[in-house]
Structure 1
Amino acid sequence: MATLFFISHPEVVVDPLVPVERWHLAPSGIERMRRFAGQPALSGLRQVWASTETKAIEAAGILAGRWGLGVEVLAELGENDRSATGFLPPAEFETVADAFFAEPQTSVRGWERAVDAQTRITDAMRGIVRQHEGGGDLAIVAHGAVGTLLFCALAGRPISRAEDQPFQGHVWSATLPDLAIRHGWEPIAPRA
């Protein structure tokens, strides 16, 4: 049975002067993604998708390049919309992110509601799976929060930060085409 891999981009260069969706992978993130991309378990990949955010495209490019594939992009795979606040210092970001998961029906400080982001990412992923041609494995390289929301939807679990990745650069997988969860978040590679 084929596999869907959902991969969150690894570490990025945080620059408060650059829009978050244009942040690039940090050298440590590039290295971790390269190590992940070389795993024999990924040799069945036939398609790689990414959100339109720079960090996801860069990570997807590393993965796709390793296996001689192109990258398809789709805006609906993007992270939850946080443009209302823009960049937040790490401690403040974590507090708002906690509220985002704890109050999924509420727009916390103008952020996209978790329930809306969950519907968007689930619909996008199902559309990709429906058109996935030729069988084989499929990778979606996107973001941690929407990856967690998608995982919760497929696993039949309530939205909860307890299901979130502990840090950037993780993967979970499900079987194709039935989308039964194989495993939850696991690091793509050890951090240096």
Structure 2
Amino acid sequence: MPCTFITHPEVTIEPMARVEDWGLSAAGRARAAHAVEVVPRPAHVVVSSAERKARETAAVLAAALGVEVVVDRELGEMDRSATGYLPPDEFDVTVDAFFAEPTSSIRGWERAVDAQRRIERAVRRQLTNTRDSVAFVSHGGVGGLLLASLTGAPISRGLDQPGLGSWFTFDPGTWRALSGWQRLD
């Protein structure tokens, strides 16, 4: 049964708060409601990152599907606590370097290869006890790393989501992507 990887939509940016504590914006909540349209049925469970924006997205999806939410800390975005909030231009340059140098810690961030292993481990662990579809709700950076693993491609910014609130499907049995990124509408 195909599974779906969904990233949280738009957030309310709070530069003085931890990034993990940012919640969905009004537009993000509205777009999160569309996630139910992309999940194959029957859906067994929604598995979410522990970060607030992902949990809020997962809660909307789980309520629409009538399933529970399981929180898995290993589905969290790459650890970038060494820098905290970065202005958009500085953030984009740092993310470019994160993907371009996957075996290096950029500005103290978690290495891309380590984040990729973590997300693979979390997804595989969550799939061990079900044959039904599982919806994973997480973040764009780790989704790009998972997509690289599922396609056998090297880690690259070219595999990053096209924008907040994106998704792809994959076959957990063959560990292959069934689609590329698409946007929630």
**Normalised by the size of structure 1, how large is the TM-score?**
0.93
Residue identity in the other structure for 2:5: F
Unaligned 5+ runs, structure 2: none
Aligned residue for 2:45, secondary structure, equals: strand
Output one character per residue of 1:67-86: Cα deviation in whole Å (capped at 9) or x when no partner. 11110001000000000000
Aligned residue for 2:46, secondary structure, equals: strand
Output one character per residue of 1:146-191: Cα deviation in whole Å (capped at 9) or x when no partner. 01001101110000001111211100111242222110110011xx
Question: Could you tell me which residue of structure 2 aligns to residue 58 of structure 1?
Answer: 56
Task: Note the C-alpha offset of 1:130.
Answer: 1.3
Output the CA distance in 2 between the equivalents of 1:66 and 1:156: 33
Question: Could you tell me which residue of structure 2 aligns to residue 11 of structure 1?
Answer: 10
* TM-aligned CA distance change 1:76 to 1:40, over 3 Å: closer
* TM-aligned CA distance change 1:116 to 1:40, over 3 Å: closer
Residues matched between the structures, number = 185
1:140 equivalent in alignment to 2:136 = yes
Output the CA distance in 2 between the equivalents of 1:57 and 1:3: 22
Output the CA distance in 2 between the equivalents of 1:60 and 1:112: 24
Residue identity in the other structure for 2:140: G
Question: Could you tell me which residue of structure 2 aligns to residue 111 of structure 1?
Answer: 109
Task: Note the C-alpha offset of 1:41.
Answer: 5.2
* TM-aligned CA distance change 1:107 to 1:165, over 3 Å: same
Task: Note the C-alpha offset of 1:35.
Answer: 2.3
Task: Note the C-alpha offset of 1:97.
Answer: 0.3
Output the CA distance in 1 between the equivalents of 2:102 and 2:138: 20
Kindly indicate whether the alpha-carbon contact (under 8 Å) linking 2:98 and 2:106 is maintained by their aligned counterparts in 1. yes
Aligned residue for 1:105, secondary structure, equals: coil
Question: Could you tell me which residue of structure 2 aligns to residue 174 of structure 1?
Answer: 170
Kindly indicate whether the alpha-carbon contact (under 8 Å) linking 2:2 and 2:40 is maintained by their aligned counterparts in 1. no
Output the CA distance in 2 between the equivalents of 1:112 and 1:84: 9
Residue identity in the other structure for 2:93: T
Q: RMSD value over aligned CA atoms? A: 1.2
Output the CA distance in 1 between the equivalents of 2:38 and 2:144: 25
Kindly indicate whether the alpha-carbon contact (under 8 Å) linking 2:3 and 2:39 is maintained by their aligned counterparts in 1. no
Kindly indicate whether the alpha-carbon contact (under 8 Å) linking 1:129 and 1:177 is maintained by their aligned counterparts in 2. no
**Normalised by the size of structure 2, how large is the TM-score?**
0.96
The equivalences for 1:1-192 within 5 A come to: 2-37=1-36, 39=37, 42-131=40-129, 133=130, 135-189=131-185
Aligned residues with identical type, % of pairs = 44
Output the CA distance in 2 between the equivalents of 1:56 and 1:108: 24
Output one character per residue of 1:5-27: Cα deviation in whole Å (capped at 9) or x when no partner. 00010000000011100100011
Residue identity in the other structure for 1:78: G
Kindly indicate whether the alpha-carbon contact (under 8 Å) linking 2:50 and 2:73 is maintained by their aligned counterparts in 1. yes
* TM-aligned CA distance change 1:168 to 1:40, over 3 Å: closer
Question: What stretches of structure 1 move > 6 A for 4+ residues in a row?
Answer: none
Task: Note the C-alpha offset of 1:40.
Answer: 7.2
